[in-house]
Chain A
Amino acid sequence: MTGAPPRDRPILSVRDLHLAIAGRGRHTPILRGASLDIAPSEVHGLVGESGAGKTMIGKAVLGIQPSPARISGGSVLFEGRDVTHLSERERRALMGRGMGLIPQDPMTSLNPAHRIGAQIADVLRLHLGMDRPAAGARALELLNEVHVRAPERVLRQYPHEISGGMRQRVLIAIAFACRPRLIVADEPTTALDVTVQRQVLALIKRMQAQEGASILFVTHDLGVVAKICDRVTVLHGGRVLETGETRRIVEAPEHDYTRALIAATPRHDRPGDLLRPVPEALTARLNAEALAYDAAHGSHG
Chain B
Amino acid sequence: MANNGGILKFMAEYDRRWIYLLIFVVVVAPLLQPLGFPISVSPDTEVYHKILADVKPGDKVLFTLDTEFSGYMEIQSGIIASMRILLNRGAKICVAVGHPEATSIPQLVFDACSAELTAGGYQYGRDYVNLGYILPNESAVAALAEDFHSTVRQDAKGASIAGTFLDDVKDWSSWALIADFTTGLGTAYLRAHFALRGTPMTVNVIGVMSPTERPFYDSGIYKAILNSMRGGAELEYLIGHPGPGMTAMDAFTLGHYLLIGFIIIGNIGYFGYSRRQAKKT
Q: A and B: partners?
A: no
